[in-house]
């Protein structure tokens, strides 16, 4: 079994691939309501900032994003168990919000279908 730790180059490559995936899914999430687009775009930005100082500097200059970058720094300082627990809570929130959104869409579709059916019967 290979227990060798990943090299900095391979870790950076994995982070870049993950950041691009988050970016693509984040853009898709801006148009598809069941994908958390803004969250994924933020994760892509944080991964990019962690690996590229130019992105980090650009994000820290933004008045709106600098506070979030401080939160990301605090996240990196957490022990692994706390990181896992926080990620679990965030994932649970995303799942609950997605189910609530899908439920409201299903209710709207059902209401529209029943309304169309009743209109057809009354005609």
Helix axes 37-51, 8-29, angle to 10 degrees: 160
> Same structural domain for residues 20 and 55?
yes
Domain span holding position 7: 1-77
Over residues 90-113, the pLDDT tens digits come to: 778 878 887 888 888 889 989 888
pTM higher than the cut 0.75:
no
DSSP, collapsed to helix, strand or coil, labels residue 64 as: coil
> Same structural domain for residues 15 and 68?
yes
Is pLDDT above 70 for 7? no
Cβ 29 vs Cβ 37: under 8 Å: yes
Residue 31 DSSP symbol: T
CA atoms within 13 A on the CB side of 52: 13
> Same structural domain for residues 12 and 50?
yes
Over residues 11-59, the pLDDT tens digits come to: 778 878 888 888 898 888 888 877 778 888 888 888 888 888 888 888 8
pLDDT at position 3 is 43
> Same structural domain for residues 47 and 66?
yes
> Same structural domain for residues 72 and 96?
no
> Same structural domain for residues 32 and 84?
no
Residue 3 DSSP symbol: -
Q: How far apart are CA 40 and CA 102, in angstroms?
A: 19
Q: How far apart are CA 118 and CA 19, in angstroms?
A: 49
How many domains, the chain?
A: 2
Residue 70 DSSP symbol: H
> Same structural domain for residues 10 and 66?
yes
For residues 72-88, give the mean pLDDT. 83
Q: How many CB atoms lie within 10 A of CB 75?
A: 13
Average pLDDT of the chain is: 80
Nearest to 42 by CA among 82, 11, 69: 69
């Amino acid at each position: 079994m290979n227990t060798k730790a990943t090299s900095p180059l391979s870790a950076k490559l994995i982070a870049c691939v993950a950041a691009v995936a988050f970016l693509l899914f984040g853009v898709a999430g801006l148009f598809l309501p069941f994908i958390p687009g803004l969250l994924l775009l933020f994760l892509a930005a944080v991964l990019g900032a962690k690996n590229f100082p130019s992105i980090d500097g650009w994000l820290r200059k933004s008045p709106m994003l600098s506070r979030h970058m401080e939160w990301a720094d605090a996240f990196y300082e957490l022990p692994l168990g706390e990181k896992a627990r926080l990620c679990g809570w965030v994932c649970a929130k995303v799942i609950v919000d997605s189910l609530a959104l899908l439920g409201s869409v299903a209710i709207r579709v059902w209401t529209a279908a029943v309304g169309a059916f009743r209109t057809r019967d009354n005609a």
